[in-house]
Chains A and B, each alone.
Chain A
């Protein structure tokens, strides 16, 4: 059987969303795209290395503030501000991670949470730099003048809103980032991470320096979360302290679990489902957290591998049936 290029199909479909003409759909799609990257970056830790972080929003927030400060206060180009988001978040992850990987399991999780709360508190209080409680509204969009010019001889590029152009940019950047992450988890390095997840003691005895690998995974996850945060600040038209708050950390963790941490696409599936579900349910009831909680309970007991895991199991089951028939 030929392999279906799912990634490419989804990419093309994503590009078509603004053509539907609904500003709202594009908004939702953009939200999903950014969260997909955020959740996938967390999955590098949770799903591949077996480290549960309760403070992943810290790096998302740091990335968002980095981009926000560079673009709004210093007037720098997106071309500088976007990579800087990943870089700065990664540097913070080096520092925090250095301490976190010295602890295991629940202690690791609590320390990641503690650092995230410190980051949140700094964002909340350091008025001169972060805008404090009020946050930093009106982050400018990257300049899309060049697209306007190019649309002179590439007419299909013309006629979109700036937010649509930003959405296209997000798709491209997130696609590249996800591709890089995909390569990382499929690399020898990624295999070493899975040995740590499976059995850290044994991993030590095949020569894996567990702490160093864990730190590397932590930094990579932090950097990619930072990139997602950088995009989100612009998308959100502002950066606020709650980007780094623990509820954001739990939201992204739930997304990862819902989609399934056992697979690479799981967290992205989780992002799609959770955001669409939220959208639908909030219009009926204000008890979204109640619904979310029920979904989680169902998930943990019925589909411990998440939605993507359940689909995978179903697929394998049908394959086996076909093989037997």
Chain B
């Protein structure tokens, strides 16, 4: 479904991502892991059009999407969440998700109808799915960190994506919150038949739900395969697991 071919990106001579290739099969759950600064977020930004790669191509559903604008990508069926929580803080929880519906269903240019109850049922359904229905009327900026992450997931789901890219969905969460939110993500992906690609630094999380893991280190892929293979890989143990113990 998604294919990244040998993309590279440098910033002022520093190579953040150097020749990374990976494929994501439809309906799979894949993860990109690596220590901080490994280039995970940069790779994500290259895939989702925030950055244009210096070399290489990104192909989505057979279409070359390299460097395409995010709003067009969104229309093609790619949703993403951000590492640093990214919501519309002074809109209510309901309005956040509703805005995604309005935009995605192409009603954004409608100037004279009333927006209040537009897509209310769909929005409520999403809020129910991510566990925020009882807080729908609150200003979203006042939600807890975990709540905002849930909301962000809700916004992404409202865009009815085929593939969902989550950048460190559990960043900054406690162990308990992490478990809950991973369970939620896994359930939603299954129910909605989503293809999922996410980055993570927490190994536990990754091994528990992904079918395929790509390990990034200093902008390069050092291992790629099923969780068990990756776990046994000596290079990975040295770079990643060793580093964690230190």
Contact = CB atoms under 8 A, between A and B. Distances in A.
Interface of A: 183-184, 186-192, 194-195, 198-199, 201-210, 213, 216
A187 B112 CA distance: 6
Contacts of B108: 188-189, 191-192, 208, 213
Contacts of A205: 48, 70-71, 74, 79-80, 86
B114 A187 contact: yes
26 contacts: A184-B111, A188-B102, A188-B108, A188-B113, A191-B95, A191-B115, A194-B88, A194-B91, A194-B95, A195-B91, A199-B87, A202-B82, A202-B86, A202-B88, A202-B155, A204-B69, A205-B74, A206-B74, A206-B103, A206-B104, A206-B155, A207-B159, A208-B71, A208-B108, A209-B69, A210-B71
B107 interface: yes
Contact of A186 (B79, B90, B115, B155): B115
Q: SS class of chain A's interface: helix, strand, loop or mixed?
A: helix
B115 A187 contact: yes
A189 B106 CA distance: 10
B91 to A, nearest CB: 6
B109 A204 contact: no
A54 to B, nearest CB: 23
Given A199-B88, A205-B71, A205-B80, 13 more contacts: A186-B116, A187-B112, A192-B99, A192-B103, A198-B88, A203-B88, A205-B48, A205-B79, A206-B74, A207-B71, A207-B104, A208-B103, A209-B69
Interface residues of B, number: 37
A190 B91 CA distance: 12
Contacts of B109: 188-189, 216
> Which 10 A-B pairs have CB atoms at the shortest separation, nearest pair first?
A198-B88, A207-B74, A204-B70, A206-B100, A192-B108, A207-B103, A188-B102, A202-B86, A188-B110, A188-B107
Contacts of B102: 188, 191-192
Contacts of A207: 71, 74-75, 100, 103-104, 159
Contacts of B89: 198-199
Contacts of B82: 201-202
A189 B102 CA distance: 9
A183 B110 CA distance: 11
B118 interface: yes
B111 A183 contact: yes
B98 interface: yes
B86 A195 contact: no
B86 A187 contact: no
Contacts of A199: 86-89
Most buried by B among A199, A202, A210: A202
Contacts of A189: 108-111
B231 to A, nearest CB: 33
Contacts of B112: 183-184, 187
Interface in B11-64: 48, 50
A187 B158 CA distance: 19
Contacts of A188: 102, 107-110, 113, 115, 118
Most buried by B among A189, A194, A205, A213: A205
B90 A191 contact: no
A206 B99 contact: yes
Nearest to A192: B108
Nearest to B89: A198
A194 B71 CA distance: 16
A184 B86 CA distance: 26
Contacts of A192: 99, 102-103, 108
A28 to B, nearest CB: 33
Nearest to B75: A207
A247 B112 CA distance: 34
Interface string B110-130: 111111101000000000000
A199 B151 CA distance: 15
A202 B97 CA distance: 12
Contact of A187 (B79, B98, B99, B111): B111
